[in-house]
């Protein structure tokens, strides 16, 4: 597709970390099938590092590529580092996104942050 970069096409065709984690430590779901995008992120946290991440996505090429690259960027990072991953950085990592697809990079980082917040909420409940 002419509007997408090579990197986006790569991640679209071979997305990393697709799947579900049954006993996830945190789950984040954002988007809305009504708008045409839905992303669910599952994380496992070891100490304060994201040790595992899996995602499922309903959406366009950009949505799938964003989910894949966000998952790559987040695994192995601390929760604080992961919370700092922004949509601009994601778009840059992907070699740029067409203007009307920037909202997809927003969604990806939101799903990650939701998963982290879900984990933190669960942790504080335990205490």
Partner 1 sequence: MRKVYFDNVATTQPDERVLTAMNPYFREHFGNPSSLHSFGEAPKKAVDEARTKVAELIGAGPEEIIFTASGTEANNFALKGISHANREKGKHIVISEIEHFSVFHSARTLEKWGFEVTHLSVDQYGLVDPHDVEEAIRPETILVSVMHANNEIGTIQPIEEISKITKEKGVLLHTDAVATVGNIPVDVGKLGVDSLSLAGNQFYGPKGAGALYVRKGVRISPLIDGGIQEGGKRAGTEEVPAIVGLGKAAEIAGEELSSRGRHLEELRDYFIDRLLQEIEHIKLTGHPQKRLPGHVSIVIRFIEGESMLMFLNIKGIAASSGSACTSRALKASHVLTSIGLPHEIAHGSLVFSMGAKDTKEDVDYVLEELPPIVKRLRDMSPLY
Active site residues: 35, 104
- Nearest Cα neighbor of 55 from 14, 9, 97, 21 is 21
* List of residues contacting partner 1 (CB under 8 A): 1, 4, 12-13, 15, 18, 29, 33-40, 56-64, 100, 103
CA separation, residue 91 to residues 29, 48, 49 (Å):
20, 26, 23
Specify which residues 58 forms β-bridges with: 38
CB of 51 to partner 1, least distance (A): 22
Q: What's the CA gap between 37 and 110, in Å, rounded?
A: 12
Alpha-carbon distances, residue 20 vs 54, 57, 58, 92 (angstroms): 6, 11, 14, 27
CB of 73 to partner 1, least distance (A): 19
**Shortest Cβ 12–partner 1 spacing (Å):** 6
């Amino acid at each position: 597709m002419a509007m997408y970069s090579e990197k986006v096409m790569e991640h679209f065709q071979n997305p990393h970390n697709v799947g579900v984690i049954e006993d996830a430590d945190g789950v984040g779901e954002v988007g809305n099938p009504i708008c045409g995008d839905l992303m669910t992120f599952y994380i496992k946290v070891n100490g304060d590092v994201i040790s595992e991440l899996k995602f499922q996505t309903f959406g366009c090429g950009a949505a799938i590529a964003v989910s894949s690259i966000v998952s790559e960027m987040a695994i192995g990072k601390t929760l604080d580092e992961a919370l700092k991953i922004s949509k601009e950085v994601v778009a840059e990592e992907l070699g740029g996104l067409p203007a009307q697809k920037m909202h997809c990079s927003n969604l990806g980082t939101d799903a990650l942050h939701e998963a982290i917040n879900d984990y933190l909420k669960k942790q504080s409940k335990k205490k």
